């Protein structure tokens, strides 16, 4: 089984978000970039398939050279090869078109992406990729088993979960549950040394144009002050929620 | 022409977000000088959408589609868009809406904006505002393709009545194979975080799973869903499905009550599109108070039971 894990390179969850160039660009100053958390769960599940079922695992990112340390980290965790499509990831449609070319060239059986990235939160790329390739697609995937060409996936739904049977080629939009938090791996010294020697292929982008572009960012308006209520007088809170906020 | 929407229902009844999506589409249709057409799947009363401005409803009724079937639903929506000549398609940001929207976008070769929170700033060029960086910012995105797909955030635009009489027509649609639902495990007696107007959330300050009785009781009195912080689900005190925040579920309720939660940046990111936030915490320095609308510095084990008692009285008096 050949697995491709799609990795988006995102600001660490503790990052303060700021913009430059008249609020048109994300300010990377002082920001640490990491593997998108949803993708890290997927990568860790892929490592399980590698160790238990002899799968080959490749990772891919559509981005400029600044995302290479993130790909190297994925190699240090245990992926066999990395691919970077050299382009600015402007919008989900464009990224999905680039990934579709990578999948067609590489002949992958299973493609694991994240439910959403924590930068643009579009949750667009995995579904678009599936529709472009006409492959089976399971979103918000919290469990995945593969046996030959059949697969069983668990999907989180509002208020519960659903078990699905399907077949490869398959694309999943994964999240926590594919593996648990405690299964995540921190690369060790040996992994980091080996990652330096593993292939990281840089591919040119295909000719598709951006379908969308951000014209400007805004930050939320500063919040008003909090109204404090005396713990001895919780009735006042109910009164405020009913008469002032009008939410109960 | 027309603006097309997918109006989601559950066991035949429309979800509130279905009415929000229709209201929003009516706003765009007015700006573009056109009307709203809705697609429904196995809805009991499709004509209900007229109340919010749909002048036409294309109603699918097919028992084979009673289990959600992403590809089958997406085909129906894309076909309807093509038949109606709709260049803008609006879907809800529910779990199923998020599943469908990218599929519909590819079928219509449309650029997409997710988590949209306001009417387009302009329709030519088409520029729309959405939340990005897990609610830490907004982006104005220009969609360059002829067709556009929008995912509307919950509780962002609200409900706007606009009485129209909806003409209902049948739409043929088929479930698509490839994926089969083997089993569904869904609590039907509980309000889900996705649908809830009020969410009551507990953190590590509650000390242990045995203390969740009062959280559940408070939720019950309010008709609310229960949620928790990440460490609470990581330690197995509560199920993973209750974990909210940047790496858990997003919350966009009208009221969010946080009890014994410190207010870490990752937690706040996931819940700050809730309208009104109440924080109960023993530590006056807890960062959550800076993000709250109402706060009580106090011990949850003292405050929550009193709150439950007062709420019960309030309900009796306001019944
Ligand atoms: C990559 C990453 C992603 C993350 N994603 C998320 C996420 O999605 N969601 C999330 O929640 N966290 C997330 N976190 C974790 C986050 O950083 C915090 O650790 C977590 O939110 C803290 O949970 P807490 O507030 O329940 O616990 P604590 O921070 O331990 O806070 C407990 C609070 O309870 C108060 N307290 C104690 N006793 C009482 C009492 N008797 N009555 C009232 N109050 C009391 C204390 O004053 C304290 O403020 C993430 C972290 C990382 C690194
Ligand atoms: N630039 C990118 N390169 C590779 N994979 C990506 C990229 N952007 C998004 N993805 C994948 O698509 C998922 C959803 O991203 P998004 O649609 O941006 O929310 C991510 O979790 C990744 O798995």
ipTM metric: 0.94
In contact, B126 and A206? CB cutoff 8 Å: no
Residue B95, H or E segment = helix B95-107
Q: Report the interhelical angle of A125-133 vs B95-107 (nearest 10°).
A: 40
Stretch 14-53 of chain A: residues touching chain B, C-beta under 8 Å: 14, 17, 19, 37-38
A93·B101 Cβ contact <8 A:
no
In contact, B230 and B201? CB cutoff 8 Å: no
- Residue B15 CA to residue B155 CA, distance in Å, equals 12
Q: Give the pairing of strands B137-143 and A110-114.
A: unpaired
Ligand lying closest to the C-alpha of residue B238: 1
Q: Minimal CA–CA distance to B281: which of B198, B205, B201?
A: B205
Residues 6+ apart with CB under 8 A from B313: none
Q: Determine the pLDDT at residue B205.
A: 98
Q: Determine the pLDDT at residue A90.
A: 87
Among the partner-chain residues B95, B133, B139, the one whose CB lies closest to the CB of A140 is B95
B282 lines ligand 1 (CB under 6 A): yes
Q: Nearest 5°: CA angle at A105, between A100 and A111?
A: 50
Q: What share of chain A is helix, strand, coil (3-state, %, to 5)?
A: 30, 35, 35
- Residue B2 CA to residue B172 CA, distance in Å, equals 20
Q: Which of B13, B113, B133, B135 to mutate to test the interface with A (most CBs of A within 10 A)?
A: B133
Q: Is the four-CA dihedral A213, A172, B42, B186 of positive or negative sign?
A: negative
- B262: Cα separation from own chain's centroid: 25
- b vs e for B57-83, b when ≥16 Cβ sit within 10 Å of the residue's Cβ? bbbbbbeebeebbbbbbbbbbbbbbee
Per-residue pLDDT of chain A (248 residues; tens, 9 = 90+): 999 999 999 999 899 899 999 999 999 999 999 999 999 999 999 999 999 999 999 999 999 999 999 999 999 999 999 999 999 998 999 999 999 999 999 999 999 999 999 888 789 999 999 999 999 999 999 999 999 999 999 999 888 899 999 999 999 999 999 999 999 999 999 999 999 999 999 999 999 999 999 999 999 888 889 999 999 999 999 999 999 999 99
- Residue B108 CA to residue A212 CA, distance in Å, equals 15
Residue A66, H or E segment = none
- Residue A136 CA to residue B72 CA, distance in Å, equals 12
Q: Determine the pLDDT at residue B135.
A: 85
Diameter of chain B by CA atoms?
A: 61
Q: Minimal CA–CA distance to A165: which of A129, A131, A138?
A: A138
Cβ-defined contacts of B233-241 (< 8 Å, 24+):
B234/A181, B234/A182, B236/B209, B237/B206, B237/B208, B237/B209, B237/B212, B238/B202, B238/B209, B238/B212, B240/A142, B240/A176, B240/A177, B241/A156, B241/A160, B241/A161, B241/B193
Per-residue pLDDT of chain B (319 residues; tens, 9 = 90+): 799 999 999 999 999 999 999 999 999 999 999 999 999 999 999 999 999 999 999 999 999 998 899 999 999 999 999 999 999 999 999 999 999 999 999 999 999 999 999 999 999 999 999 999 988 899 999 999 999 999 999 999 999 999 899 999 999 999 988 999 999 998 877 889 988 999 999 999 999 999 999 999 999 999 999 999 999 999 999 999 999 999 899 999 999 999 999 999 999 999 988 999 999 999 999 999 999 999 999 999 999 999 999 999 999 998 7
Quick check: helix, strand or coil at residue B137?
strand
In contact, A158 and A146? CB cutoff 8 Å: no
Q: Give the pairing of strands B54-60 and B13-14.
A: unpaired
Helices (H) and strands (E) in chain B, counts: 8, 18
Q: Determine the pLDDT at residue A221.
A: 87
Q: Report the interhelical angle of A92-106 vs A125-133 (nearest 10°).
A: 50
Show residues of chain A in contact with B158, CB under 8 Å: none
Show residues of chain A in contact with B188, CB under 8 Å: 159
A137·B70 Cβ contact <8 A:
yes
Residue A228, H or E segment = strand A227-228
- Residue A95 CA to residue A117 CA, distance in Å, equals 13
B269·A125 Cβ contact <8 A:
no
Residue A223 touches partner B, C-beta closer than 8 Å: yes
- Residue A169 CA to residue B247 CA, distance in Å, equals 27
Q: Give the pairing of strands A110-114 and A170-174.
A: parallel
B283 lines ligand 1 (CB under 6 A): yes
Q: Nearest 5°: CA angle at B63, between B57 and B67?
A: 95
Q: Nearest 5°: CA angle at B131, between B228 and A175?
A: 45
Q: Determine the pLDDT at residue B1.
A: 76
Q: How many residues does chain A have?
A: 248
Q: What is the dihedral of CA B95, A93, B19, A162, to 10 degrees?
A: -20
Quick check: helix, strand or coil at residue A241?
helix
Helices (H) and strands (E) in chain A, counts: 6, 15
Say how many Å lie between the CA of residue A125 and the centre of ligand 2. Answer: 6
Say how many Å lie between the CA of residue A117 and the centre of ligand 2. Answer: 6
Diameter of chain A by CA atoms?
A: 68
Among the partner-chain residues A120, A164, A235, the one whose CB lies closest to the CB of B132 is A120
Residues 6+ apart with CB under 8 A from A180: none
Burial class (CB in 10 A: 0-12, 13-18, 19+), B255: buried
Q: Determine the pLDDT at residue B67.
A: 87
Show residues of chain B in contact with A210, CB under 8 Å: 144
- Cis previous bond, A169, omega within 30: yes
B113·A38 Cβ contact <8 A:
no
A120·B275 Cβ contact <8 A:
no
């Amino acid at each position: 089984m050949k697995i491709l894990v799609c990795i988006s390179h995102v600001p660490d969850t503790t990052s303060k978000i700021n913009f430059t160039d008249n609020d048109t660009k994300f300010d990377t100053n002082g920001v640490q970039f990491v593997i998108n958390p949803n993708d890290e769960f997927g990568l860790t599940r892929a490592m399980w398939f590698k160790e238990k079922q002899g799968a080959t695992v490749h990772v891919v990112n559509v981005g400029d050279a600044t995302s290479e340390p993130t790909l190297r980290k994925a190699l240090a965790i245990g992926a066999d090869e990395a691919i970077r499509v050299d382009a600015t990831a402007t919008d989900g449609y464009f990224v999905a078109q680039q990934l579709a070319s990578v999948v067609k060239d590489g002949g992958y059986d299973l493609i694991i992406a994240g439910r959403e990235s924590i930068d643009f939160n579009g949750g667009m790329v995995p579904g678009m990729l599936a529709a472009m390739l006409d492959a089976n697609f399971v979103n918000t995937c919290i469990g995945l088993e593969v046996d030959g060409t059949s697969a069983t996936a668990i999907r989180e739904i509002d208020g519960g979960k659903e078990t699905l049977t399907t077949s490869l080629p398959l694309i999943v939009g994964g999240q926590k549950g594919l593996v648990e938090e405690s299964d995540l791996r921190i690369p060790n010294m040996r992994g980091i040394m080996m990652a330096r020697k593993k292939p990281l292929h840089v591919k040119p982008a295909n000719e598709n144009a951006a379908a969308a572009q951000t014209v400007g960012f805004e930050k939320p308006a500063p919040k008003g002050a909090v109204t404090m209520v005396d713990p001895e007088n919780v009735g006042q809170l109910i009164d405020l929620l009913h008469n002032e906020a009008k939410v109960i | 022409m027309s603006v097309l929407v997918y109006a989601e229902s559950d066991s035949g009844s429309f979800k509130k977000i279905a009415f929000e999506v229709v209201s929003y589409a009516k706003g765009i249709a007015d700006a573009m000088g056109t009307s709203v057409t809705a697609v429904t799947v196995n809805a009991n009363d499709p004509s209900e959408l007229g109340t919010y401005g749909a002048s036409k409803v294309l109603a699918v009724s097919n028992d084979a589609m009673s289990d959600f079937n992403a590809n089958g639903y997406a085909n129906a929506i894309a076909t309807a868009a093509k038949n109606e000549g709709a260049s803008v398609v609006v879907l809800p940001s529910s779990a199923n809406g998020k599943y469908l929207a990218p599929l519909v976008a590819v079928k219509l070769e449309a650029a997409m904006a997710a988590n949209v929170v306001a009417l387009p700033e302009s329709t030519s060029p088409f520029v729309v505002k959405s939340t990005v960086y897990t609610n830490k910012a907004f982006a104005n995105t220009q969609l360059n393709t002829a067709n556009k797909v929008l995912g509307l955030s919950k509780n962002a635009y609200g409900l706007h009545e606009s009485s129209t009489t909806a003409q209902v027509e049948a739409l043929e649609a088929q479930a698509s194979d490839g994926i089969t639902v083997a089993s569904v495990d869904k609590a039907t007696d509980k309000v889900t975080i996705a649908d809830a107007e009020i969410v009551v959330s507990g953190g590590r300050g509650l000390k242990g799973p045995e203390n969740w009785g009062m959280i559940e009781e408070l939720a019950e009195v309010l008709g609310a869903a229960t949620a928790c912080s990440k460490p609470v689900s990581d330690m197995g005190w509560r199920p993973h499905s209750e974990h909210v925040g940047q790496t858990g579920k997003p919350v966009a309720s009208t009221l969010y009550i946080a009890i014994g939660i410190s207010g870490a940046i990752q937690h706040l990111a996931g819940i700050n599109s809730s309208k009104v936030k109440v924080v109960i915490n023993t530590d006056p320095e807890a960062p959550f108070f800076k993000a709250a609308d109402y706060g009580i510095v106090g011990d949850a084990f003292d405050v929550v039971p009193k709150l439950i008692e007062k709420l019960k009285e309030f309900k009796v008096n306001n019944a």
